[in-house]
Amino acid sequence: MSNYIDPERDQFDAFKELPRDKPIMMLNLLCFREKAAYEDGREATGAEAYAAYGSETSPIFRRVGGEIIWRGKPELMVIGPKDKHWDMIFVARYPTAGAFLEMVTDPDYRIAVKHRQAAVKDSRLICTTESVEGGDFSG
């Protein structure tokens, strides 16, 4: 089984090709390590390491106009692998794709991301745009 922590180069290159002037929402699915995997050997749980990531990156996230628009507590996999679980699920909204790129290339963000990398056992990050069609499942 592959675990996904950082984007592959081709995935990030494809993201950079998206229009940079439109709002995006990033669906985040996160599974934390029991024990964080810091290169320097420091001790923390995965959840504690992710909290450090959040604390250090929040000012950058807010500066670029990011906001958490939805957060949920995973309860049960209704469709999907029964043995797969997520510890945290949320949707972050950015005013533009360019704002997301500004955040992830910020020098302070690039330092703080070590906490996310130490914390996360597996993740998915899905870039979405808003859809204005319909109010039911057919739209």
Q: Alpha-carbon dihedral of residues 43, 108, 55, 23, nearest 10 degrees?
A: -130
Residue 136 lies in a domain: no
Amino acid 6: pLDDT: 83
β-strand partners of 124:
29
Is the pLDDT confidence value at 70 over 90?
Answer: yes
> How many domains does the chain divide into?
1
For residue 56, what is the domain's CATH number?
A: 3.30.70.100
Amino acid 4: pLDDT: 85
β-strand partners of 32:
120
Residue 138 lies in a domain: no
CB atoms within 10 A of CB 75: 7
Residue 111 lies in a domain: yes
Residue 135, classified by CB atoms within 10 Å of its CB into exposed (0-12), middle (13-18) or buried (19+), is exposed
* Residue-range definition of the domain harbouring residue 54: 11-128
Amino acid 1: pLDDT: 46
Residue 87 lies in a domain: yes
Residue 65 lies in a domain: yes
Cβ proximity of 115 and 56 under 8 Å: yes
3-state DSSP helix/strand/coil % of the chain, to nearest 5: 35, 25, 40
Residue 91 lies in a domain: yes
Cβ proximity of 100 and 64 under 8 Å: yes
pLDDT in tens, 72-120: 999 999 999 988 999 999 999 999 999 999 999 999 999 999 999 999 9
Q: How far apart are CA 116 and CA 3, in angstroms?
A: 14
